[in-house]
Chains A and B, each alone.
Chain A
Amino acid sequence: MKAYKAAAILTLAASLALATGCGSRTEPTTTEGSGETEDKVAKIGVIAPLTGDLSSFGKGIQYSVQLAVKQANESGAIPGWTLEVVPLDDQATPDVGQNAANQLASMDDVIALVGTMNSSVAQPVQPIVDAANIAMVSPANTNTSLTKGADLENPVRPYKSFYRLCASDDKQGPFAAKYLLTKGIKTAATVHDKKVYGQGLVDAFTEYYEANGGKVVAAETINPEDTDYSTVVTKVKSANPEIVYYGGEYPQGAPLSAQMKDAGLKVAEIGGDGNYTTEYQKLAGEAAEGDLTTSVGAPLDTLDSAKAYLDGYAAGGYDVDPGAYGGYAYDAANVIIEALKTTLKDAADVKSAREATVAAIQNVKIEGATGEIAFDEFGDNTNRVLTVYKSEGDAWVSEYINTIE
């Protein structure tokens, strides 16, 4: 009897764990079609972190794609076809993202993919969708090797099916360095979280900064699983930097800022787009005041082109803000839709249109919410605008908008 009871409880616990673990992953919510039953259906996948620390970014991506698809369906952009969105959660984890990519690749009616958010997730996703000829347009992956391969001296585009809209790390790090040098800040410490993204930012930052007269006085790392950074802070403080450059994301970046100020290291932290969310101020509290961050593109509320998107998003009543990548996700979906206008029109089914779609995106030119969009030979957006933001109160205020080569 006892053993039976124990077994029952174990099974219950295991099934609960399974249920909570997978529940959010396998419920593709689809947008409504226009109601005409004759329309054929093509699906656009979204792979992003819809749960966990980074879910506020991921949801912004999902909702923005859904908004673009809804608008395309309502205007009948592709006659005879209805578009649907398949959002899949990657939990910001490479192997979960890989599973999601396999799931998409096994669906015959998937034509393209918007995602992922994390560069480390994009790496295993790329070859899977490429093998299935599914076009992947990334709103947020900033790691350089995704479009230029591992060897930056001799860049080779690894996947013809991969396009991205945001500027890559080799732009964001130097952009931050350029800004600091124009402000006369010549000594910096760097800290990164040992992930592909964080390390990429710091490497690119250090190279530009030191080549142009800056000096990195301390280079440290943290474990993303750790919560106490006081030993790193003490070490950095003894090097007396004028600013701390952080490569990583806000769940670690914001507490780092708070712990810096608590320990008497009263200089600003400057991060990449991983810090660019108001969750940063919520977590860091008053310590965030004066901190800086770079992000890709220009702030949406300063762009005339983004007005329609922001109005549409606000009218949608979504439960999170567009976030750093919402605008790019919206544009990514529209890039795909623009290509589909020619490739899907006369196609018999989705699968046969895939190859043409991958090729068609290369030549797409649209006026997106984030500005003019076109792709270079690596699949990178030719529009490389970046912005430095400064934390004031509980918001990020744009401080410096410029481009970088």
Chain B
Amino acid sequence: MDVIIEQCLNGLSLGSLYALIAVGYTVVYGIVQLINFAHGEIFMVGAFGSLTIWLLAGSPTDMSIGFALGVMLPLMVIGGIIFSVLTAMLTEKIAYKPLRSAPRLAPFISAIGISVFLQELVRLFYGQIPGFPDARNKIKYPTITGISGASVDIGGVQLKMTTVFILCALAICTLFLWFYINRTKVGRAMVATSQDQMTARLMGIDVDHVILSAFAVGAGLAAVAGIAQGLYIGDIGYKMGFMAGMKAFTAAVLGGIGNINGAVVGGLVLGVVEAFASQLGDTAWKDVWAFVILILVLVFRPQGIMGAKVVDRA
């Protein structure tokens, strides 16, 4: 029984990371129908951004719990978000906006280019900054007192504090997203633009601004995921974005691409399926089961778990 609960927690942690990244894919796809393959790298930049803040703060190791949770962690989260959001907005301006009227495949290819570029940029140049670790190898992520480290035993079940952190982060981000989409002007404009870009433009919505905001929101959540992953598994590396991006994209499709709630649900489902597939079968087969579930869902519900049927616009 304990094992089942622990695998559930493992799955939810992993799934929450997928969910946070998947939101970025789905928001951008909903508005510009672009699969932003560089999004995994935005997640990676977020993790490195927060590490940068920690290094600039003098690499504190033995922090008091108050300082760690009250000062260092918020600073790292904000720093990571700033790095990610700026990178995402810059790539949108440089690599996607000029291609907005080009055929659909052109921005897709430039997304792959940006992905390679960002990986190599971090790999080759991060370690060149004086006092910064060489990013060509994996880097140990800072330990934050109160979150990192050994798990707590609750009635036989091992609960990692990083799991609590990840679940809280997902809850807060989901609430924020709900508020942002439903209660702010930019959020409403996003919904309008995703429904009908031309009409939205005619109604006086600055579509370029809306698209930029979509990239920024996705990047912010990806940065939170990057920090959460660093704390959860204890190391980061320039390659971390590739696999995570793939899985998150899968989660977005599973949940129904274009649907934000779907991305969250898809992420959690994928994480939990992976965890139980490793527990019940051979661990080597966990990805196989994850994708079997994806195929089954898409066969019977092509629009994904929560996706709406697309009505062809006349």
Query: B-contacting residues of A (Cβ < 8 Å)?
Result: 2-3, 5-6, 9-10, 13-14, 16-17, 20-21, 51-53, 55-56, 194, 220-223, 225-232, 234-235, 237-238, 251, 254-255, 258-259, 261-264, 279, 282-283, 285
Contact = CB atoms under 8 A, between A and B. Distances in A.
Contacts of B116: 13, 17
B20 interface: no
A148 to B, nearest CB: 26
B203 to A, nearest CB: 25
Contacts of A261: 150
B99 A6 contact: yes
What does DSSP make chain A's interface, helix, strand, loop or mixed? helix
Interface in B137-164: 137-138, 140, 143, 149-151, 153, 158, 160, 162
A231 B11 contact: yes
Contact of B7 (A51, A223, A231, A255): A231
Nearest to B102: A6
Given A228-B232, A263-B151, 8 more contacts: A6-B110, A13-B95, A13-B117, A55-B136, A220-B278, A228-B233, A262-B160, A262-B162
A221 B284 contact: yes
A194 B117 contact: no
Contacts of B95: 9, 13
B9 to A, nearest CB: 8
Interface in B232-288: 232-235, 237, 239-240, 242-244, 274-275, 278-279, 282-284, 286-287
A118 B190 CA distance: 50
B243 to A, nearest CB: 5
A222 B286 CA distance: 10
B221 interface: no
B84 interface: no
A264 B153 contact: yes
Contacts of B66: none
A234 B113 contact: no
Contact of A231 (B109, B237, B286): B286
Contacts of B244: 227
B136 A6 contact: no
A255 B283 contact: no
B283 A230 contact: no
Contacts of A254: 235
A259 to B, nearest CB: 6
A228 B14 contact: yes
Contacts of B2: 238
Contacts of B10: 228, 230-231, 234
Contact-size category for B: 35 or more
Given A5-B98, A17-B117, A263-B151, A227 B240 contact: yes
A227 B230 CA distance: 10
A53 B137 contact: yes
B229 interface: yes
19 contacts: A2-B101, A5-B98, A6-B99, A10-B110, A13-B114, A223-B287, A227-B233, A234-B6, A235-B7, A235-B279, A237-B158, A238-B3, A255-B233, A262-B160, A262-B162, A264-B151, A264-B158, A279-B137, A283-B234
B275 A231 contact: yes
Contacts of A14: 113
A17 B110 CA distance: 12
Contact of A10 (B113, B136, B143, B149): B113
Contacts of A223: 287
Contacts of B101: 2
B283 A20 contact: no
B168 interface: no
Given A227-B240, A262-B160, A263-B160, A20 B94 contact: no
A230 B98 contact: no
Contacts of A258: 234-235
